[in-house]
Amino acid sequence: MKLLRYGEKGQELPAMLDSNGGIRDLSEYIIDISGVSLSPDNLEKLRALVPESLPLIEDNPRLGPCVGNIGKFICIGLNYADHAEETGADIPKEPIVFNKWTSAIAGPNDNVEIPRNSKKTDWEVELGVVIGQGGRYIDEKDAMDHVAGYCVINDVSEREFQMERAGTWDKGKGCDTFGPLGPWLVTKDEIADPHQLNLWLEVDGKRYQNGNTRTMIFQIPKLVSYLSQFMSLQPGDVISTGTPPGVGMGVKPEPVFLRAGQRMRLGIDGLGEQEQLTVDA
């Protein structure tokens, strides 16, 4: 299934995509694509529905973040061997964990705001993992049982805030609009192998990122199990699993960073595409 949320910011309604790409409203069956609605039992109930029997949304509505009311937005840094190489970083011995604030979450095609005083706003296409069944101290062999599905994420990052000023990475990662999610939450049964997916990103039509999830250092079962040693994972939590090479700060001979008025376009095999216009905050 491809699940999504549509409507004005803060008023999004749940929906699923039909076989022709039409948006079918799910409001009669669930309140939102969030939390307990993503449990294995509830996903099975939604899977039993005939999409063509649901109300068709005729216009072209705004798409909201594909998951609502996210409790934790957890990110993994330097999780692609070829990306670590381009940044000059050592291969991590354990996953590097940081957070995006939930106020960073945006729809897949919403504007991305360049923060005030920003000098180095950058892009990162990433595979998002959505938790469907909560847990703590999860064994790696059981980890995929806790995954509801996957989505596209743009881990927008301000590199000066992140790396050149005191403190943790978080303040360069969690600015408003720095976490577009969607267009869809694709349930895991539709993706044969999440570690064999092409992912890419363009700025103003120029392809900068062109990678594959096979070069992940820590794969999804490891990440889910690892994170659950330090926190309870809860339904609707989102894990952003890292980015392949081609980020702006890695461009040679001179890094390239975003400015207002540019367009980012990005996507992952089977998970859809996003497109954002950059604007000044």
Domains of the chain: 2-53 (no CATH), 73-280 (3.90.850.10)
Q: Which helix (H) or strand (E) holds 128?
A: strand 125-131
Most distant CA pair in the chain, distance: 55
Q: How many Cα neighbours within 13 Å face the side chain of 95?
A: 24
List pLDDT tens digits, range 155-173.
999 999 998 887 788 999 9
Token code pair at residue 151: 């989505």
CB contact at 8 A, 245 and 231: no
What pLDDT score was predicted for residue 22? 97
pLDDT band at 219, cuts 50/70/90? very high
Query: Residue 173 in 3-state DSSP?
Result: helix
**Which tens digit of pLDDT belongs to each residue from 230-266?**
999 999 999 999 999 999 999 999 999 999 999 999 9
d(CA 151, CA 174): 18
Mean pLDDT of all residues in 208-228: 97
Q: What is the mean pLDDT of the chain?
A: 96
Spatial distance between the Cα atoms of 18 and 126, rounded to a whole number of angstroms: 25
- By CB neighbour count within 10 A (0-12 exposed, 13-18 middle, 19+ buried), where does 57 fall? middle
Better-predicted residue by pLDDT, 217 or 165: 217
Task: Report how far residue 77's alpha carbon sits from residue 84's, in angstroms, rounded to the nearest whole number.
Answer: 9
The pLDDT, as a whole number, for residue 202 is 98
Residue 17 corresponds to which amino acid?
L
267: tokens are 């996507």
Token pair for 266: 């990005």
What CA–CA distance (Å, rounded) separates 141 from 92? 22
Report the pLDDT value the prediction gives residue 149, as an integer from 0 to 100: 98
pLDDT tens digits, one per residue of 89-120: 788 899 999 999 999 999 999 999 999 999 99
Question: pLDDT by residue (tens digit) across 5-31?
Answer: 999 999 999 999 999 999 999 999 999
pTM of the model: 0.96
